[in-house]
């Protein structure tokens, strides 16, 4: 049995070829691609952490917003994209390329595709580093990049997928080890998520509008956003855990059966949980409930995976004390357990009512990103680089120091955000005996949590220092050795053994049981509460009974159904895709149908933005205002008392993309329209502290000198009309004139307050947008019916 199969301990002897049908040959792995991705990850990781530290400084000290291109609203998306796609992305590719070749006993299928993948991915990162500070964004969290870059991402991902599956097709080891399962799930799911969420209508080379709008866009975005965390930051790193942790500990994975449960439960349940980011919003209750329930279910598979990782260290804990690699792995898996406990907790509606929009969510995200992703990356790098260069780690002592200062940095960061977030939530909802807000000014909250922002900055800086120390250590390690590609002797079949008929796998008992349970669960949509309870109970009985019967029927002398499946990469991939798509289709398709139905009603009750308001909204998006302000008032008294009437689906009906937001560093803006005069907005944008002393909002004085292109407005309205926004041909043709008319009205009003403004100023446009938010004026009434003419006797 091969080493890869031995790690997972499947019973597959019955499917193994006889010695007469095999021969042995030596292969050399293509490790150059892994070396490139390792050092790209380290370099971009430092850039990402540096951007994050600077953004943290801006929140604590507003004067750090030194340039418009480096203001917080533009820097924050750069930081998140660099951390996710540059740091973790490159780390993931390094681990996948290194481990896959060894697990399947085959060299990389195509060096050329590997090089295209590497340079293509670095080109995408550079494009993000250029466009995001320039304000070229789609304003969708973790998916801000504009449509040309989105196309490049899809193309490069296809290159990666082709090379990966081509390598699987060439494999000498027929059984797919658990790490490969997670890589397969990552590749196919990320492709689906990216393509669906990135659907947009281009207006120009650097501007587009999402094909989804309002609540539907919110649902699709967080279906993508949550599962980007799941299938880009979690599943591939779990695959890396299942390979590198046993290697470093020199122990087999604790439980092969647990790894099966972990994988299938995770990929099926995770995809449903996205709506938990939208609890207590205008999203339909059925979607919110679905997201909450499946998020709670995630506790089981997530902690199953964590325990499988930690228990792999059984008998090797003495090594953890001495080996920095195992320290990073053990701590990383522990942080994974913490993050996956906290995530479902935050998905409970009552908890979300306190935590949502606060820094608690920021602490939760960074616990996973820095603790899980960052520490797993460090452990993998410290293990891989000496082997990639045929030498020893330059300084184990430096790696130990990195571990401890990194751990302290993470804890300071998380604790600061926990304290800050809970403080925010409690202050926002605090009322006196008469029911009046105790802290009516939003700035009071900012002043209370500012010390925590400095603490967060200190913790993040410590973590950054550890990254720099790791970069030096890895560079010195590489310098002391020479690039070395791994070699292995592999057993190759001369004549392929007869494979089991695919129908026995596809229609095997586990698939049939799962299908029956799914049918029962989908039937819930057509029943009353009593029927729902009955169907849930029946589905549970069918599932547990099926598992019990399959356990009784298991024969020690025959390969299990799953062991057979592991030898059929194509069927395994198809079943993985089906497991993932079930949740996506169940959530997204109903929202599309409802959106189309409700849109017909909305056309009669809600008018789209006027041309200048749409231009102002684009300026709002470009400046990243959505990173600090929400536009969603939840159905709580403390919110309606502070912000106004509860938000409805109609409020954002024509928003492409939606602007509900996920963080309130500043107040909610959903009912801002008409609340203050034009002069107030003008002065607030020029000097926020002259209006709100203590605010950490940067100045947007540069907007006064920016100019709106009135001639290009028609194209934007035309694109919106193609998305279903009810602009008439006359409104599109008259858009430039209407924009100039509305701008002139605002300028005349400002003049009465002693303010001189240029009608084409971007500050005038964003003022028009801010004055419109939440007002939703009805469209003009239809023309009056003709009055019947009564003929007089003379006329007769």
Q: Which residues are annotated as a binding site for Cu cation?
A: 226, 276-277
Contact 391, 446 (CB under 8 A): no
The single-letter DSSP state of residue 782 is P
Distances (CA, A) of 380 to 96, 513, 557: 11, 38, 37
Contact 661, 632 (CB under 8 A): yes
Residue 750, classified by CB atoms within 10 Å of its CB into exposed (0-12), middle (13-18) or buried (19+), is buried
In sequence order, the 6+-apart residues with CB closer than 8 A to the CB of 45 are 83, 86, 87, 91, 374, 377, 467
Contact 184, 572 (CB under 8 A): yes
Token pair for 553: 């029927």
Residues belonging to the binding site for heme b are: 79, 364, 366
Task: Name the packing angle between helices 147-169 and 89-104 (round to 10°).
Answer: 10
Q: How far apart are CA 150 and CA 159, in angstroms?
A: 14
Q: How far apart are CA 370 and CA 376, in angstroms?
A: 9
Token pair for 283: 């999203």
In our burial notation (b when 16+ CB lie closer than 10 A, e otherwise), range 525-549 reads: eeeeeeeeeebeeebeebeeebeee
Half-sphere exposure of 182 (CA within 13 A, CB side): 31
Residues belonging to the binding site are: 79, 226, 276-277, 364, 366
The CA R_g of the chain, rounded to the nearest whole Å, is 29
Q: Which stretch of DSSP H or E encloses residue 492?
A: strand 487-493
The 3-state secondary structure of 154-184, one letter per residue:
HHHHHHHHHHHHHHHHCCCCCCCCHHHHHHH
Token pair for 516: 């029956």
The single-letter DSSP state of residue 210 is E
CA 92 vs. chain centroid, Å, equals: 16
Residue 737 CB neighbours (<10 A) = 12
In sequence order, the 6+-apart residues with CB closer than 8 A to the CB of 762 are 615, 616, 619, 703, 704, 706, 707, 708
**Partners of 437 in beta bridges:** 431
Helix (H, G, I), strand (E, B) or coil at 682: helix
């Amino acid at each position: 049995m091969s080493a890869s199969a031995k790690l997972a301990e499947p019973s597959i002897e019955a499917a193994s070829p006889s010695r007469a049908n095999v021969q042995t040959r030596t292969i050399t792995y293509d490790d150059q691609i892994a070396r490139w991705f390792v050092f790209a990850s380290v370099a971009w990781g430092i850039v990402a952490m540096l951007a994050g530290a600077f953004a943290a400084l801006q929140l604590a000290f507003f004067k750090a917003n030194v340039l418009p291109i480096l203001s917080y609203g533009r820097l924050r998306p750069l930081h998140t994209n660099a951390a996710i796609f540059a740091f973790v992305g490159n780390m993931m590719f390094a681990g996948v390329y290194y481990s896959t070749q060894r697990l399947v006993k085959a060299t990389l299928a195509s060096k050329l595709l590997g090089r295209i993948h590497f340079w293509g991915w670095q080109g995408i990162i550079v494009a993000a580093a250029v466009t995001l500070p320039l304000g070229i964004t789609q304003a969708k969290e973790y998916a801000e990049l504009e449509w040309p870059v989105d196309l490049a991402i899809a193309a490069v991902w296809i290159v990666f997928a082709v090379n990966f599956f081509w390598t699987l097709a060439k494999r000498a080891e027929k059984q797919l080890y658990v790490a490969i399962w997670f890589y397969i799930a990552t590749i196919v799911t990320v492709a689906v998520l990216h393509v669906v969420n990135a659907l947009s209508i281009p207006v120009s080379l650097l501007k587009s509008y999402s094909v989804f709008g309002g609540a539907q866009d919110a649902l699709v975005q967080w279906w993508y956003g949550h599962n980007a965390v799941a299938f880009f930051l979690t599943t591939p790193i779990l695959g890396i855990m299942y390979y590198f942790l046993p290697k470093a500990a020199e122990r087999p994975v604790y439980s092969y059966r647990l790894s099966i449960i972990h994988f299938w439960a995770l990929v099926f349940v995770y995809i449903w949980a996205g709506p938990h980011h939208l609890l207590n919003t205008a999203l339909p209750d059925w979607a919110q409930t679905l997201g909450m329930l499946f998020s709670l279910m995630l506790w089981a598979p997530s902690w199953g995976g964590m325990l499988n990782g930690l228990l792999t260290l059984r008998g090797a804990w003495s090594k953890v004390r001495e080996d920095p690699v195992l320290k990073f792995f053990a701590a990383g898996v522990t942080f994974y357990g913490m993050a996956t406990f906290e995530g479902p907790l935050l998905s409970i509606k009552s908890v979300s009512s306190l935590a949502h929009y606060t820094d608690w969510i920021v602490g939760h995200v960074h616990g996973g990103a820095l603790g899980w992703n960052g520490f797993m990356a460090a452990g993998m790098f410290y293990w891989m680089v000496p082997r990639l260069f045929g030498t020893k780690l330059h300084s184990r002592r430096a790696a130990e120091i990195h571990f401890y200062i990194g751990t302290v940095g993470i804890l300071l960061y998380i604790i600061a955000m926990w304290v800050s977030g809970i403080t925010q939530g409690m202050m926002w909802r605090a009322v006196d005996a008469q029911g009046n807000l105790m802290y009516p000014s939003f700035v009071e909250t900012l002043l209370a949590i500012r010390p925590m922002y400095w603490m967060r900055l200190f913790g993040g800086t410590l973590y950054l220092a550890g990254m720099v120390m790791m970069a030096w250590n890895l560079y010195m390690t590489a310098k002391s050795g020479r690039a070395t590609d791994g070699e292995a002797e592999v057993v190759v079949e001369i004549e392929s053994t007869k494979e089991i008929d695919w129908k026995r796998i596809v229609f095997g008992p586990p698939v049939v049981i799962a299908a029956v349970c799914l049918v029962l669960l989908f039937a819930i949509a057509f029943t009353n509460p009593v029927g729902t309870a009955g169907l849930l109970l029946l589905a549970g009985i069918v599932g547990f009974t099926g598992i019990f019967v399959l356990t009784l029927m298991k024969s020690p002398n025959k390969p299990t159904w799953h062991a057979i499946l592991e030898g059929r990469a194509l069927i395994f991939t198809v079943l993985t895709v089906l497991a993932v798509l079930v949740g996506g289709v169940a959530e997204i398709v109903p929202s599309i149908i409802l959106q189309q139905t409700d849109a017909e009603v909305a056309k009669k009750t809600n008018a789209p933005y006027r041309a200048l308001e749409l231009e102002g909204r684009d300026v709002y998006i470009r400046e990243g205002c959505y990173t600090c302000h929400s536009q969603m008032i939840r159905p709580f008294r403390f919110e309606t008392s502070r912000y106004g009437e509860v938000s409805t689906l109609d409020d954002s009906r024509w928003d492409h993309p939606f602007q509900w937001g996920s963080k309130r560093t500043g107040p909610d803006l959903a009912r801002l329209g008409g609340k203050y005069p034009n002069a107030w907005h003008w002065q607030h944008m020029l000097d926020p502290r002259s209006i709100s002393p203590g605010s950490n909002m940067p100045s947007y004085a540069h907007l006064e000198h920016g100019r709106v292109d009135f001639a290009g407005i028609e194209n934007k309205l035309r694109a919106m009309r193609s998305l279903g926004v009810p602009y008439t041909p006359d409104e599109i043709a008259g858009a430039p004139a209407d924009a100039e008319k509305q701008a002139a009205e605002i300028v005349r009003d400002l003049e009465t307050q002693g303010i001189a403004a240029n009608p084409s100023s971007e500050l005038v446009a964003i003022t028009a947008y801010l004055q419109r938010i939440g007002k939703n004026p009805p469209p003009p009434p239809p023309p009056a019916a003709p009055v019947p003419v009564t003929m007089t006797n003379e006329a007769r």
